[in-house]
Amino acid sequence: MRKNVVLAVASALTVAVGAAGVAEAVQSRQTISIKVLSSKAGTKAKPRSVGRLNVDLGVIVNPADAPFATRTTTIFFDKNLVFNSSKFPGCTEVQVRSGSAKCRAAKVGSGSATGDATSLDAATGQKVAFPRENLTVTAYNGPGGRTINLLVKGSAPLAINSVLVGRLQPATGKFGRKLVVTIPANLQQPLTNVFATLSSFKTSVGGTFRRVPYIALKGCAAGKLQFKGDFVFTDGSRQSPTSTSTCRK
């Protein structure tokens, strides 16, 4: 009898914990939109420049969510896209942060972002919102083309000068490459118990170096390019929205 009671209590606790976990997961919706400026594909032997690759990430915030931030972001790119980053000048994370003149030749894009910081009032438990931080984003090719260094700067309400390092890695299936970004701790939590949600993050990358395009297109399957994002938040929950961009042969 006692054993049955213990099992019943354990089962109830398991259900309660599971339900709490679901309730506490981020309910805000992560969005992703990726488009190429030039959609005409070349060939495997002679890929054609896309001009610019425009990445638009956003978070539609649910007011019921506890304060949270994005911990890691991984962007998957269609296998028909060719990255020629290894053929471009590179600039290290340290050089980017210090504003080295050596980084001018390594600049491959720019954009903007917004950060919305919130915390919980210790006395009332109510969410407290801070003034929005408007940020500029400048993209630099990393040494050997293995990384993309994203310089994020803002002046109010906080002085921010941080670098997001995106690591270009091979992907599988319908994706050829992926960019893995770990958000620096000072952007996740700019102050103690204050979480900054990047509600918008837009970048446009591209260009040429010695007639070689930064990003090119070698083919087009069914008239669409496939993209996906994998976002992990500070509460451990994850969202994986997708995006497509038209292309033509």
pLDDT over 50 at 155, yes or no: yes
What are the pLDDT digits (tens) for 227-237? 999 999 999 99
CA angle at 214 for the pair 210 and 215, rounded to the nearest 5°: 140
Question: What is the structure's pLDDT at 122?
Answer: 87
Task: Decide if 237 is inside a domain.
Answer: yes
Strand pairing of 238-239 and 175-182? Answer: unpaired
Tens digit of each residue's pLDDT (9 = 90 or more) over 106-121? 999 999 999 999 999 9
Domain membership of residue 167 (yes or no) is yes
Please count the structural domains in the chain: 1
Label residues 78-100 b or e (16+ Cβ within 10 Å = b). Answer: bbbbbbbbeebbbbbbebbeeee
pTM for the model stands at 0.88
pLDDT tens digits along 122-154: 889 899 999 999 999 999 999 999 999 999 999
The answer to whether 207 touches 105, Cβ cutoff 8 Å, is no
Mean of the pLDDT values across residues 20-28? Answer: 66
Task: Report the pLDDT value the prediction gives residue 20, as an integer from 0 to 100.
Answer: 33
- The answer to whether position 2 is within a domain reads no
Amino acid at site 154: G
Handedness of CA 34, 81, 181, 209 (dihedral sign): negative
Q: Are 73 and 181 in contact (CB under 8 A)?
A: yes
Question: Each residue of 28-62: b (16+ CB within 10 Å) or e?
Answer: bebebbbbbebbebbeeeebbbbbbbbbbbbbebe
Per-residue pLDDT reduced to its tens digit, 205-233: 999 999 999 999 999 999 999 999 999 99
In this structure, what are the phi and psi dihedrals at residue 176, rounded to the nearest 5 degrees? Answer: -95, -35
160 domain residue, yes or no: yes
Asked if residue 19 has pLDDT above 90, the reply is no
What is the reported pLDDT for 3?
Answer: 40
Look at residue 94 and tell me if it is in a domain.
Answer: yes
- How do strand 107-120 and strand 133-141 relate by DSSP bridges? antiparallel
Collapsing DSSP to helix, strand or coil, 231 comes out as: strand
With 50 as the cut, is the pLDDT of residue 8 above it? Answer: no
User: Mean pLDDT throughout 61-81?
Assistant: 97
Which range marks the domain in which residue 89 is found?
A: 28-246
The pLDDT > 70 percentage for the chain reads 90
Domain presence at residue 129: yes
Domain for residue 121, yes or no?
Answer: yes
| Encoded tokens for 162 | 């941080």
Q: What share of the chain in percent tops pLDDT 90?
A: 86
